[in-house]
Amino acid sequence: MIDALRGFLVVEQWAVLAYFLAVNGFLVVVLVASGLEMRSHLLESWYESRLRLLSSAAAPTITLLAPAYNEALTVSESLRSLLTLRYPKLEVVVINDGSTDETLAVLRRDFDLVAVHPIFRRSVDSQPIRHIYRSTTSAGLVVVDKVNGGKADALNAGVNVASGELVCAIDADTIIQSDALLRMVRPFLNRDDVVAAGGTIRVVNGSRVSGGRVVEARAPRGALPALQAVEYLRAFLTGRLGWNRLGGNLIISGAFGLFRRDAMLAAGGYEHDTVGEDMELVARLRRRAYEQGGPGRVEFIPDPVAWTEVPDSLRVLGRQRDRWHRGLADVMWRHRRVLGRPKYGSLGMVAYPYFLFVELLAPVIEALGLVGLAAGLALGAVNWSFAALFFAVAYGLGIVISVFTIALEEWSHRAYGGLRDRLRLTAWSLAEGAGYRQLTTVWRLRGLMRYARRNKEWGVMTRTGFVAGDPVGGSAPSAPQRP
Amino acid sequence: MVSTQLVLIALAIEAVALAVGLALLAGHGGWLAVRERRLAPRLAAARAAILTGLVERPSQQLPLAPLEALPFDERLRVLGEAAASVAGAQRSHLRGLARRAGVLDRAGALCRSRRWKRRLRGARMHTLLGGGEAVMPALLSDRRAEVRVEAAAWAAEHPEPEIVARLLELLGDPAARCRFTVHDSLMRLGPAAVAPLVDFLASVGGARAAAGLQVAASLRDPRLLDAAHRLLSDEDAETRRRAVDLLGALGGERALAALTDRLSDPVADVRAAAARALGQGQHWTAAAQLTAALRDRSWDVRSAAGMALRGLGAPGELLLERMLADEDRFAVEMARLMLDLPGAPA
């Protein structure tokens, strides 16, 4: 019996090792693709004038959709920051999603709102709209007051009312770079078949924020935010950028993403019944393009376009990762029919299998590997050399990829302060495999188990908030983003 | 089981890769920091010399020495920073300095390169600083879309008829970015683009004409009226819609009959555009046809007709009230929506 168990453990360990080799090998390919993509991007944007686009009458209109729920304390400041974004044709639609506090009253007072009754088509389902207001002091500001229905529902109401050819979904607590829209619109101008675009989102913890803008970008000082900053860099700069060359992205961050409105309406808008509505929409847009023809390309630009505050407590971070993984599981399940079907091109043959076997199932396999390794060592089925090889392949290659990602950041945008900040992030990336990564595995496993029990809660996240002039990092409530 | 040798090989590979990554990171960062520190005083001197020259001594040549003390990339950086904020005589002044500093010569040489990336760099330098009249027109026909885009951007400051004509040909370019930049440049050229645009619209149809009409609608020049009328009967629906938009933008009594006629176009987008254009021109004599359009099967047409009627004031509102008793429930619904708008009669 013991011998049979030992034999099983040996086979299992080799299988897990082979899995990690394949995954890390693929990630190296993604890293190389990212490097090539970054080189093209830097050439394309070399001395490119964004001022020209800023003064162009031919630029497409962008509608910013900002859902707000009980944000009376911060909504006016956030909105002022949005209204000063640099873009020639900008409409801002704030959707008051049935707030029970003074959100609407504050908006009416600060922006001199008057009720209007514009004719719009209810193209996608949403809870009833009670009133629509326009500001007499800020041209281009529209406030939609509706019955509460959640974030996806609020965004759908906003899409119905929007007049822009492009719509940009943002979270109220995302800090957007002033020229972000000028950068984000580029993929839509470059190609006719782009339906969605996203950009790099950075971690704001540790940076100095004033007037709704990051005035001094620094790498986070605390361990947890710093480790997440490394994760974000890897997810955006290596992950999503590389996917531009490997068959297109499947995720556009809910914190800041730009979509073609007609494609979004044709696809039916945001799905209400999921916790991963941003990823679900992107998957549906791509799938629909393969099924019905028409545009379906999802592009990622490496430019830093927005900043978000990440959790600085393990409890909140755990809830966030749990939710993200439930969202991922839900999207994978909803679109399971695309797996391995040539009809769906790179979506079915590359992107979906990657997200299923690498992103979704990785924690299961990693946990099996770790438990099997411990059992194998205890029973003498595997030796210490094997354990060393396992860790070298599973975690060592991850560190190498993180270091090269930070090198890519150094070569390109250098968004986080000076070299010292990037070296600090590098030091944290070396420590990522010593506890942090295992914790994320546990949280993601918990997310999978909760998904299996059909749990669709969002959970509550605690944030520090942005106090003008102070580095971000301390506690006030708000909502989390997927990198 | 796994041999120690295999583990050592795996670890060695990772250690080498890690060392390379760290060396790249620290090396690049360190090199940049040292270079920036070394160049900072020279960059400051060059910026100050250009600023002083442009603002305080506009009649004198800008001093070349501070710029010559910089490597080529930094010369371009300083000139580019200044070029983004100046126009007219100051821009010419700056262009003169760029020429004397050898930047425009280098740009010209790059534009003639066989490698497209170099041609793109050269073209961008000319867009940034000006000049390039000898090399840039040819790049409007470059085989790489990226280069054509840059040449089209450069052309916005060059209203010569042959360049405008070439821009108009590029309205049908297969690359989306090229079409956008051409559109933008033609709008920036303004009146200089009208005569070539009239000729262009007289000779084309279909999608290319639609792109031309889109530019024409933003130029709003009466010389474009004939072209709009001719293209109203084009086979391509998008072209007819754009022609309707142009007529709406130009207005005038002559447009009335043509626009009213388009209310019965087989394509809903064209009918909606016609209703909008009639509303835009306040053509009250078309009120009866607009009222009939409230029964259209397309929501867009009904709402455009309703808005047009409402825009006509009291007569339009009277017609909307009458439609409340119509047997078509969609027409009744749209009339009700229009009458419910703020400011409408109770």
- Indicate the helix (H) or strand (E) that contains A202: strand A194-203
SS3 content of chain B, % helix, strand, coil (to 5): 75, 0, 25
Backbone angles phi, psi at A304, to 5 degrees: -70, 120
| Tokens read off for B161 | 């008829």
Distance between CA atoms of B94 and B79, rounded to whole angstroms? 7
**Are B172 and B202 part of one and the same domain?**
yes
Give the Cβ contact number of residue B105 at 10 Å: 13
Angstrom distance (rounded) from CA B191 to CA B209: 19
Report how far residue B328's alpha carbon sits from residue A347's, in angstroms, rounded to the nearest whole number.
46
Cβ atoms within 10 Å of B139's Cβ, excluding its own: 24
Q: Is residue B288 situated within a structural domain?
A: no
Residue B274 lies in a domain: no
Closest CA to A432 of A389, A394, A464: A394
One domain, residues B126 and B100: yes
Same domain, B129 and B159: no
Q: Which of B97, B113, B135 is the last residue of a domain?
A: B135
Sequence-distant (≥ 6) Cβ neighbours of residue A121 within 8 angstroms = A160, B299, B303
The predicted pLDDT at position A479 comes to 38
B212 domain residue, yes or no:
yes
Name residues of chain A where pLDDT drops below 50. 467-470, 473-481
| DSSP H or E segment with residue A166 | strand A166-170
Distance from CA of A389 to the nearest CA of B (A): 5
> What is each CA distance from B162 to A375, B135, B147, in whole angstroms?
79, 14, 19
Residues B122 and B175 occupy one common structural domain: no
CATH code of the domain in which B160 resides: 1.25.10.10
C-alpha closest to that of B55 among B79, B90, B91: B90
User: Which of B168, B171, B174 minimizes the C-alpha distance to B143?
Assistant: B174
Could you tell me if residue B318 is inside a domain? no
- Nearest Cα of chain B lies from the Cα of A455 at a distance, in angstroms, of 40
Same structural domain, B129 and B153: no
| Spatial CA neighbour of A196 closest among A285, A88, A328, A275 | A285
Task: Identify whether B245 is part of a domain.
Answer: yes
- From chain B, the residues in CB contact with A411 under 8 A are 24, 28
Q: Write out residues in chain B with pLDDT < 50, as ranges.
A: 344-346
- Chain A closest-CA separation from residue B27 CA (Å): 10
Report if residue B235 sits inside a domain: yes
B213 within a domain of the structure (yes/no): yes
Interface test with B, best of A385, A420, A428 (most B CBs within 10 A): A385
Please list, in sequence order, all residues whose beta carbon lies within 8 angstroms of the beta carbon of residue A62, skipping any fewer than 6 positions away: A87, A89, A90, A91, A164, A165, A166, A167, A168, A181, A185, A258
Q: Which of B1, B84, B338 comes nearest A385 by C-beta?
A: B1
Chain B residues near residue A406 by CB distance under 8 angstroms: 21, 25
Q: Which of B192, B219, B250 is the last residue of a domain?
A: B250
Q: Which of A31, A189, A384 to mutate to test the interface with B (most CBs of B within 10 A)?
A: A189
pLDDT at A457: 60
Which two structure tokens, joined as six digits, stand for B78? 């300083």
- Cβ-nearest to B187 among A47, A57, A399: A57
- For residue A385, the chain B residues in CB contact (below 8 A) are 1-4, 6-7
User: Are residues B209 and B244 located together in one domain of the fold?
Assistant: yes
Q: Answer yes or no: is B295 within a domain.
A: no
Q: Which amino acid is at A156?
A: N
Pick the residue from chain B with its C-alpha nearest to A9.
Answer: B1
CA distance A249 to A199: 11
Chain A positions touching chain B (beta carbons under 8 Å): 43-44, 46-49, 51-52, 56-58, 115-117, 119, 121, 189-192, 382-383, 385-386, 388-389, 392-393, 396-397, 399-400, 403-404, 406-407, 410-411, 418-419, 422-423, 426
Q: Based on the domain organization, do B108 and B153 belong to the same domain?
A: no
Question: Which residues on A lie below 8 Å from B337 (Cβ)?
Answer: 119
Best CA proximity match to A110, nearest among A85, A75, A83 = A75
Can you read off the two tokens belonging to residue B89? 């005589």
A337 secondary structure, DSSP code: G
Q: Coil, strand or helix: which one is A279?
A: helix
A356: closest CA of chain B, how far (Å): 27
| One domain for residues B119 and B168 | no
Task: Note whether B71 and B116 are same-domain residues.
Answer: yes
3-state SS, A91-102, equals: EEEEEEECCCCC
- Cα of A335 to nearest chain B Cα, Å: 31
Choosing from B221, B250, B279, the residue where a domain stops is: B250
Structural domain boundaries enclosing B147: 140-250
Which residue blocks in A91-174 are alpha helix, DSSP H?
Answer: 103-111, 151-161
| Residue of B237, B319, B240 whose CA lies nearest to B279 | B319
Distance from CA of B80 to the nearest CA of A (A): 8
Tokens of B39: 């160049």
Do residues B105 and B176 share a domain? no
Give the pLDDT score at B1: 57
Is there a single domain that holds both residue B125 and residue B147?
Answer: no
Nearest partner of B181 among B136, B205, B228, B147, judged by Cα: B147
Which pLDDT belongs to residue A416? 84
Q: Which of B2, B18, B84 sits opposite A389 (nearest CB)?
A: B2
Tokens 């100050």 sit on residue? B48
The answer to whether the complex's ipTM is over 0.90 is: no
* A contacts of B33 (beta carbons < 8 Å): 418-419
Residue B55's pLDDT is: 85
Say how far residue A159 (Cα) sits from the centre of its chain: 20
Question: Which structure tokens are listed for A162?
Answer: 């929007």
Taking the C-alpha atoms of residue A124 and residue A113, their distance in angstroms, rounded to an integer, is: 26
In total, how many domains does chain B have? 2
Within 106-165 of B, beta carbons closer than 8 Å to A belong to 117, 120-121, 124-125, 127-128, 146, 153
Secondary structure (3-state) at B283: coil
Indicate if B123 and B152 belong to the same structural domain.
Answer: no
Residues 21-60 of B with CB under 8 A from A: 21-22, 24-26, 28-30, 32-33
Q: How far is CA B300 from CA A138, A262, B188, B308, B329, in A?
A: 28, 14, 32, 12, 16
Interval A295-309: pLDDT, tens = 999 999 998 889 998
Residue A300, phi then psi, degrees to nearest 5 = -125, 135
- The residues that bridge with A142 in the sheet, in sequence order, are A93, A134
Q: Which of B150, B184, B220, B301 to mutate to test the interface with A (most CBs of A within 10 A)?
A: B184
Between the alpha carbon of residue B255 and those of residues A172, A233, B218, B241, the distances in Å are 47, 57, 17, 14
